[in-house]
Amino acid sequence: MATIVSKRLRKTDIQKRMTIPSKSLNCFPALSGNEHMVDFDVRDECGHVWKFRIYTRKSNNKYRKPVLTKGWREFVCRKELSIDDKVEFYMDKQQADGSAEYRVTVQKAVKVFGAIFAHKPFPGEVSNDIV
């Protein structure tokens, strides 16, 4: 299982959309032809399947600036995410036809006196590595 994106969430990620590093775009489902968006499914640590959309600027723009739009705000609200929580996306299985299965995990920030002390796994996730 390969990590595609590991990100500590910022204000914009919580309130609007999650930005994705451009270098990670090629690990997500391919944008076909002149399309600048693609929908895909992601399974969370509880087994729930979320439907997200990756949106980019038009392909003729040098810097495509990928973001997660559709489905992202619902995910944020249902998981009660906040600034400094950590989200990681993984490519779980690569299929023979080129498609892949994706997973997402959430680690809530543990703050002590305003400083981030650690991240703990989201309830329902099995993990031994608190970072």
> pLDDT tier at 125 (50, 70, 90 boundaries)?
low
Q: What is the CATH number of the domain that holds 55?
A: 2.40.330.10
Domain interval for residue 63 = 2-121
Rounded Cα distance, 62 and 80, in Å: 35
Residue 129 in this model has a pLDDT that exceeds 80: no
Q: How many domains does the chain have?
A: 1
Per cent of the chain over pLDDT 70 is 73
Q: Answer whether residue 70 shows pLDDT above 60.
A: yes
* pLDDT, average across residues 107-126: 66
Average pLDDT in the 89-111 region? 82
Burial 48-87 (b: 16+ CB within 10 A, else e): eebebebbbeeeeeeebebbbbebbeebbeebebeeebbb
For residue 48, name the pLDDT band (cuts at 50, 70, 90).
Answer: very high
